[in-house]
Amino acid sequence: MSRTVLLIHGAFAGGWIFARLGQRLTEAGFRVIAHDLPLHGKKLPADGGKALGRLSLTDYLSDLLAVTVRLDQAPIVIGHSLGGLLAQQLAALDRARAAILLGPVAPWGVFPATTFEVLSALGLYQAGSFWDRTLWPDWTIARSYSLDKFDQDGARAVFDQLGPESGRVLFEVMHWGLDSNHASAVDARKVACPILCLAGGDDRVCSPGTVRSIAHRYRRHATYDVIPGLSHFMFGEPAEPLMVDRIFGWLAENRLMP
């Protein structure tokens, strides 16, 4: 049984978001890898991050595959938001012993469940040709829809740690119908490991309906659950302990504890 847990963060973030969850997993006896995706979680190069804007989701996946092949066994993978999509892709490549998806981004072919999610994707066009640029986090958007469970000071403290993201990656996941490369595709038929799909009850970015649709793709392998009061950022929110308890409960139910 794998004792290694690979933590995959979402867009604009880094491995730092898993500080508390990673500590709990370590205390439980797991080896924890809180991985930073390429050009995330660290100071950008002198070009101001232009290189990041050229990266594809396939580059992120290749980076994660390089991490997993160095391990003796496929790890348990926990992915948040965009990291939840990458976790699904690892599972389809048989590089996950189990996968826990926290407010995951949907793979190619899964339609958004709410009007808000559709409008969020269309809103990217306000940035112009965003698909070949590096995009920086927007305070108003983050405060309203991702950091909405924090007080003002708490939200600002989190926001100040966020970094830029590849516009190409956001195009590939939010406008997948226009991506001829199908970078966000997951072959659900090849997923054979247990999967926990956790939605935040108040998450508008990756809504419970969308997360339910993701779980449906993996049928008997997937468990779907909703954490009341949880929004999209999840980590540091008042309902985070409920999420962590559900994660550990599911790991125990599936005999995945060390």
Mean pLDDT of the chain: 95
Please tell me the distance from the alpha carbon of residue 80 to that of residue 104, in angstroms, as a whole number: 6
Say if 157 falls within a structural domain. Answer: yes
Contacts of 64 (CB under 8 A, 6+ apart): 6, 8, 35, 37, 86, 90, 95
pLDDT of 47 higher than 70? no
pLDDT of 45 higher than 70? no
**Domain with 246 in it:** 4-253
* Residues facing 80 on adjacent strands: 102
Mean pLDDT score, 76-93: 98
Confidence band (pLDDT; 50, 70, 90) for 219? very high
Say if 16 falls within a structural domain. Answer: yes
Confidence band (pLDDT; 50, 70, 90) for 128? confident
Say if 217 falls within a structural domain. Answer: yes
pLDDT at 127: 76
Mean pLDDT score, 141-155: 97
Residues 64, 38 contacting (CB under 8 angstroms): no
Say if 132 falls within a structural domain. Answer: yes
The kind and range of the H/E element at 249 are helix 240-253
Say if 102 falls within a structural domain. Answer: yes
Q: Is 174 exposed, middle or buried (0-12, 13-18, 19+ CB in 10 A)?
A: buried
The tokens for 51 are: 């290189």
Residue indicated by tokens 């740690």 = 161
The tokens for 243 are: 């999420």
Say if 258 falls within a structural domain. Answer: no
Question: The CATH number of the domain where 170 resides is what?
Answer: 3.40.50.1820
pLDDT at 170: 97
pLDDT at 53: 85
SS3 234: coil
**What does each C-alpha distance from 26 to 6, 45, 46, 228, 257 come to in angstroms?**
12, 32, 35, 26, 11
- Judged by average pLDDT, the poorest of 4-18, 96-110, 122-136, 227-241 is 122-136
Mean pLDDT score, 20-33: 97
Confidence band (pLDDT; 50, 70, 90) for 43? low
| pTM for this predicted structure | 0.96
Q: Is 107 exposed, middle or buried (0-12, 13-18, 19+ CB in 10 A)?
A: buried
Percent of the chain with pLDDT over 70: 97
Better-scored residue on pLDDT, 54 or 7: 7
The total number of structural domains that make up the chain: 1
* Span 224-256, pLDDT tens digits: 999 999 999 999 999 999 999 999 999 999 999
